[in-house]
Amino acid sequence: MDLYKDLAFRTPDPTSPTPPASQQPTSTFGAGLFDFSFTHFITLKFISAIYAVNLVVIGLIGVVSLIALVSRGDGTDILAGLIVVPLLTLLWIIVVRLILEVIAVIFRIGENTTRIADAEEARTSEEARTSAVE
Q: Which residue has the higher pLDDT, 86 or 28?
A: 86
**Number of domains present in the structure of the chain:** 1
105-116 tens-digit pLDDT: 998 998 899 899
Q: Look up the pTM and report it.
A: 0.64
Q: What angle do CA 13, 121, 131 make, to 5 degrees?
A: 85
Would 11 be classed as within a structural domain? no
Tell me whether residue 120 is exposed, middle or buried, using C-beta atoms within 10 angstroms of its C-beta: 0 to 12, 13 to 18, 19 or more: middle
Would 27 be classed as within a structural domain? no
Would 100 be classed as within a structural domain? yes
pLDDT at residue 15 in the model: 52
pLDDT at residue 79 in the model: 84
Query: In the predicted model, what is the mean pLDDT of the chain?
Result: 79
Does 47 score more than 50 pLDDT? yes
Would 108 be classed as within a structural domain? yes
Q: Which domain holds residue 53?
A: 44-134
